[in-house]
Amino acid sequence: MSTSRATMIEFDNVHKYYGDYHALRGISARINGGEFFSLLGPSGCGKTTLLRTIAGFEDISSGAVMIDGRHMENVPANKRPTNMVFQSYAIFPHLSVAENVGFGLRRDPRSRAEKARAVEEALEMVGLKGYGARAAHALSGGQRQRVALARALILKPKVLLLDEPLSALDRKIREQMQVELIKLQREVGITFVLVTHDQEEALVMSDRIAVMFEGEIAQLADPETLYRRPNSRRVAEFIGVMNFLPCQVTGEAGGHIQLEVAGLGQVEIEPAQAPGVTRGGPASVGMRPETLTILYEGQQAGGREAPGVVEEVVYYGDMTYYDVRLDGLDHSVRISMRNVFGRPVLDIGTRTRVAWSPGALVLFR
Amino acid sequence: MDSDTDVRNGGDSTGPQRAAPLLTRLRHSEAVNGWLLISPTALYALLLLAAPLVTLFTFSFFKDGYLTIIPEFTLENYQATLSDPIFAALMQRSLWVSGLVTLATVLTAFPIAYYLSFHVAPALKARWLFLITIPFWTSYLIRVFLWKVILGYNGVVNSGLKELGLIDKPLEFLLYNVNSIVLTLSHSYAPFAILPIYVALEKIDRALLEAGQDLGESRLMTFWRVTLPLAMPGVIAAVLIVFIPTIGDYVTPQLIGGGKIPMVANLIQARMLDMDNKPLGSAVAVISMAIVAVVSILFLALNRRFLRGQK
């Protein structure tokens, strides 16, 4: 999928202050060449600021940003090997679509005709063939975004920066554009750095994701690791849904961590299931809704099971979400079940058994 | 909107609704409401703008009987004016002077508007705008007269320079010439030019300027390729707002020009009052208006690409 694994962007202990406000607090990370990398976090976490330090729109207070091995200090935005797709798309309203796409080609030594062909090719790549003569201000949101993409990609940057590019689009077009962006990235092999607050979008599109809170990277990992082994409750809560049960760390034996979990009893887990710190004392375990299964009459759990009562049922067509209160717990856990033909949806108040597996647990402090 | 549409809007044209009293239908008509809303202003404009214009236009086709006006149709006034070398000379001067004033005003107003829009903290912008309007706190006449005090033979500039020992006797080229007229008018019309340019600059999405740099252009080239074209509607408005009134300015040539550099408005005054030939004065006024209109329309036509719909 990637053309090269060498480091394309490197942040070395990057700090950024706005007056007294500490926007970036010692960011250190590497983004690989040809990678689809996402900066994910709630608004105000510094993800856009970090992206803008790559583009050169934001000076950093200390630390270093390197692109392709080159120090970016004192390199202005117009001299950097990066191009950006802005959140508002920033399409020049006084220019036509073709003039927008060709904006960055002014000093390109190619002939006028060759440039016009390059513009037409770029428009074709983003699915806007034949739109060149249109006025930019007459385009729809999705089309504007395609123009912004073509305008950036025509310059063949080493890094394409995308600042919440899909947030202004409605759901259908957004999902379509996600797939198109992934395909496009594989096709051109350019490093993409995406800023988003939408965890689903980040999971769908990225090779790796940096989750940011308050100017720091909380976790940097591939989507599956982030989802299955979040290193803190905060990351777990930000990405998808997770059930938390209080527990006590009772000991460590034979490389395993022993827990006493409310509602589940004695459990032993692998150290890999505790990405955070894990000495004794109170803690909590997390479980994704799809790692829990409701057992129907006569079904046997492969592993372990816990009894409980159905408290809430939310029917989604292909899925049903159950909130089940396990015996001995004061709150319910959410369970997602794929609906299978011939299997009834349970009613509220039904007593049931829930199958779970120790391997799906994550331990948090 | 025509009345036909209103009836359809007013109800789904079923029996009872169609039979509704005329008054009720009128009250629900958007068009009628719209006319009612603008009617006070429209009336005011009609009385104070259209009526004098119509009078002027009518007079210009009448004959002059000394101290009276003979309401008989004639084209004499136009023939006389168009073949009058004084009119041609003064019209040329007027166009030249107000062209210079426009150039000077817009060129100096642009940096101020730019600074105000791009470099003044948003919280301070209102204060800056307030300061820019300070010249308007005194009447136009007084401002013009003050320039005379500043530039005059024994004025502020001359006595200052003499005090400093830089000159022996007062400089005479400061006052009573085209330069001093341009200086005075530029100062007077500066806010009129600053404000529309400022508004146009404020409307520019700052992300567009970042996009310009992101696409490889320096700040200067981004200004040239993005900021300036997007500010052009404001610049065009400023040009017209300055050019149109200054061409007919009467006070400044009279006071600052000392009557030695009359412009077309002074000619109209001379024809109307000094010669008491109102039809001839009216013809001069109508021709001047036509020339200004033609020049303005030509200017707009030349710049039409900047005025196409944006956003």
Question: B208, A90: Cβ pair inside 8 Å?
Answer: yes
pLDDT digits (tens, 9 = 90+) for B7-25: 444 444 444 455 567 777 7
Which stretches of chain B are assigned E, i.e. beta strand? 63-65, 68-70
Q: Does B216 touch chain A (CB under 8 A)?
A: yes
Q: Do A84 and B214 touch (CB under 8 A)?
A: yes
Nearest CA in chain B to A141: B311
Query: What's the mean pLDDT in A42-58?
Result: 95
pLDDT grade for B175, boundaries at 50, 70 and 90: confident
Average pLDDT of chain A, as a whole number: 91
Evaluate if residue B1 carries a pLDDT over 70.
no
- Specify the domain boundaries for CATH 1.10.3720.10 within chain B: 75-306
Mean pLDDT of A38-50: 95
> Quick one: average pLDDT of B103-107?
96
Residue whose entry in the numeric block shows the structure tokens 């592993």 = A303
Higher pLDDT, B50 or A254: B50
**Residue A278 pLDDT level (bands cut at 50, 70, 90):** low
Q: What is the pLDDT of residue B228?
A: 96
Say whether pLDDT at A80 is over 80: yes
- Measure B311 CA to nearest chain A CA, in Å: 5
- Lowest-confidence region among B2-16, B66-80, B140-154, B262-276: B2-16
Report, as an integer, the average pLDDT of B249-277: 88
Residues of B in contact with A141 (CB under 8 A): none
Please tell me the distance from the alpha carbon of residue A52 to that of residue A65, in angstroms, as a whole number: 11
The distance in angstroms from the start CA to the end CA of chain A is 36
B310 vs A: CB within 8 A: yes
Q: Which of residues 8-67 of A touch B (CB under 8 A)?
A: 55-57
pLDDT tier for residue A238 given thresholds of 50, 70 and 90 = very high
CB burial of A121-149 (b: ≥16 within 10 Å; e: otherwise) equals ebbebbebeebbebebbebeebbbbbbbb
Residues of B in contact with A103 (CB under 8 A): 212, 215, 225
What percentage of residues in chain B have a pLDDT greater than 70? 93
Per-residue pLDDT tens digits for A319-353: 999 999 999 888 899 999 999 888 888 999 999 99
Q: Distance (Å) from the C-alpha of residue A268 to the closest C-alpha of chain B?
A: 54
**Using one digit for the tens of pLDDT, what is the confidence trace for A225-236?**
999 999 999 999
- A94 and B229: CB-CB below 8 Å? yes
Residue A104 in contact with partner chain B when CB distance is under 8 A: yes
Task: Evaluate if residue A1 carries a pLDDT over 80.
Answer: no
- Asked if A218 and A47 touch (Cβ cutoff 8 Å), the reply is no
Whether chain B has a CB inside 8 Å of the CB on A168: the answer is no
Cβ of A57 within 8 Å of Cβ of B215? The answer is: no
The CATH number given to B75-306 is: 1.10.3720.10
* Res B72: pLDDT: 87
What is the average pLDDT across A274-287?
Answer: 77
The residue among A96, A83, A75 whose CA lies nearest residue A151 is A83
Express each pLDDT in A163-222 by its tens digit.
999 888 888 888 888 999 999 999 889 999 999 999 999 999 999 999 999 999 999 999
Residue B310 — very low, low, confident or very high, per pLDDT cuts 50/70/90? Answer: low
* pLDDT of amino acid B217: 95
pLDDT at A194: 96
Domains detected in chain A: 7-234 (3.40.50.300), 241-364 (2.40.50.140)
Interface test with B, best of A78, A82, A83, A101 (most B CBs within 10 A): A78
pLDDT at residue A70 tops 90? yes
Tell me the C-alpha distance between B76 and B258, whole Å.
32
Residue B123 scores a pLDDT above 90: yes
B283-290: long-range contacts (C-beta < 8 A, 24 or more apart)?
Answer: B283/B60, B283/B77, B283/B78, B283/B80, B283/B81, B284/B81, B284/B87, B285/B56, B285/B60, B286/B56, B286/B57, B286/B60, B287/B78, B287/B81, B287/B82, B287/B87, B288/B91, B288/B94, B288/B247, B288/B248, B288/B264
Closest Cα of chain A to B221: distance in Å? 11
Within 8 A of A84 by CB-CB distance, chain B residues are: 210-211, 214
Are the Cβ atoms of B217 and A106 closer than 8 angstroms? yes
Q: What is the pLDDT of residues B224-235, one digit of tens each?
A: 999 999 999 999
Q: How far is A94 from chain B (nearest CA, A)?
A: 7
The A residues from 189 to 218 touching B (CB cutoff 8 Å) are: none
pLDDT of residue B9: 44
Query: Is A88's CB within 8 Å of B205's CB?
Result: yes
User: What's residue B309's pLDDT?
Assistant: 56
Largest CA-CA distance found in chain A, in angstroms, rounded: 77
What does the pLDDT read at residue A283? 85
Residue that wins the pLDDT comparison between A50 and B307: A50
- Which B positions 194-213 lie with beta carbon below 8 A of chain A? 205, 207-208, 210-213
Q: How far apart are CA B27 and CA B10, in angstroms?
A: 10
The residue among B273 and A40 whose pLDDT is bigger is: A40
Residue-wise pLDDT tens digits, A151-160? 999 999 999 9
CA distance A223 to chain B (A): 30
Separation between Cα atoms, residue A150 and residue A55, nearest integer Å: 17
Q: Chain A contact for B309, CB < 8 A?
A: yes
pLDDT in tens, B184-240: 999 989 999 999 999 999 999 999 999 999 999 999 999 999 999 999 999 999 999
- Taking only the tens place, the pLDDT of each residue in A9-37 is 999 999 999 999 999 999 999 999 999 99
Q: Which of B215, B228, B303, B305 to mutate to test the interface with A (most CBs of A within 10 A)?
A: B215
Judged against a pLDDT cut of 90, whether residue B3 lies above it is answered with: no
Decide if A106 and B216 are in contact by the 8 Å CB cutoff.
yes
Q: How confident is the model at residue A280 (pLDDT cuts 50, 70, 90)?
A: low
Report chain B residues whose CB lies below 8 A from the CB of A93.
208, 230, 310-311
What value does the mean pLDDT take over residues A280-289? 85
Residues 80-99, chain A, touching B (beta carbon < 8 A): 82-84, 86-88, 90, 92-94
pLDDT tens readout for residues B245-259: 999 888 888 888 887
pLDDT score for B19: 58
SS3 content of chain B, % helix, strand, coil (to 5): 75, 0, 25
ipTM: 0.85
pLDDT classification of A2: cutoffs 50, 70, 90: very low
| CA atoms of A116 and A102, how far apart (whole Å) | 8
Question: What is the separation of C-alpha B54 from the centre of its chain, rounded to a whole number of angstroms?
Answer: 21
